[in-house]
Amino acid sequence: MKYELETIPVWDGVKSGSECFLCDLMTQAEEHAVSFYLGSSVMNPETRVKVNEQGFCRAHFAKLVAAGKPQALALICDTYLARSRKLLAGPMEAIVSAKPGRKLDGAVRSFSSALESRERGCLVCDQMQGRLDRYCFTTAYLWGQDDDFRHALAESKGVCLPHLDALLVMSAQALDASHRADFCKALIDLTNRNLDRIAADVLWMTQKYKSENIDKPWNGCEDAHKRAVFKMVGQDRN
């Protein structure tokens, strides 16, 4: 097995009735990763080294702040900031001592690239990607093994377009060539059926705002605009 199977969360997700069960699982994965880095791991020397070297993206530093664990985040910042200052000290010094003109341009460019490489990568994003890989692998694997799962997926609301892409790509690792082709076709069919549903709901929403339709029922389309965005780009976790 190339990836550890995550049978229970994937089965629960497929049966949940969500517009994208992988988005829901990613929301959970993000919460777990944020609480992991603010939990007892903050005292673990190996984790501290990883945090100091790699750190977090802007969105996940914001999540760490919002999580309300000031002591844990202060410990992270204490050493992460020290490491950042050490990495940026050379480029900063070069700016101060550069002659006006091309030397200064070069020194500023060095600072920009040092900062860019410092901000690259994120431990929370990495942990989430690891989980997404396992969930996508499990979905394709179960589809190949289990008729009940195949039916449950076909009757679900499917996934958002970015997670459709993730499933199509990962299926190469979980299924042989002919099963993969069938899986990909089934996913496209599932997605098109659900996009037809969303498109009809959005269309009715636009019609409902016309004065002649004011007394007609919403038919459950009050939130069609939100579901359409969710389906197109995935769930916003901020």
Please give the residue ranges that form the binding site for Zn ion (CB under 5 A): 20, 22-23, 57, 60, 122, 124-125, 160, 163, 234
Closest separation between CB of residue 20 and Zn ion, Å? 3
| Nearer to Zn ion among residue 124 and residue 174 (C-beta) | 124
Closest separation between CB of residue 217 and Zn ion, Å? 29
Q: Find all residues with CB under 8 Å of 85, minimum gap 6, and list them.
A: none
Going by the DSSP 8-state scheme, the letter that residue 93 receives in this structure is: H
Closest separation between CB of residue 129 and Zn ion, Å? 10
| Nearer to Zn ion among residue 22 and residue 73 (C-beta) | 22
Please report, in angstroms and rounded to a whole number, the separation of the first and last CA atoms in the chain: 34
Residue 107's Cβ-side half-sphere holds a number of Cα atoms within 13 Å equal to: 16
Closest separation between CB of residue 56 and Zn ion, Å? 6
| Nearer to Zn ion among residue 61 and residue 107 (C-beta) | 61
| Nearer to Zn ion among residue 160 and residue 190 (C-beta) | 160
CA-to-CA distance for 48 and 224, rounded, in angstroms?
Answer: 44
CA-to-CA distance for 153 and 143, rounded, in angstroms?
Answer: 8
Vertex 162, ends 181 and 218: CA angle to 5°? 110
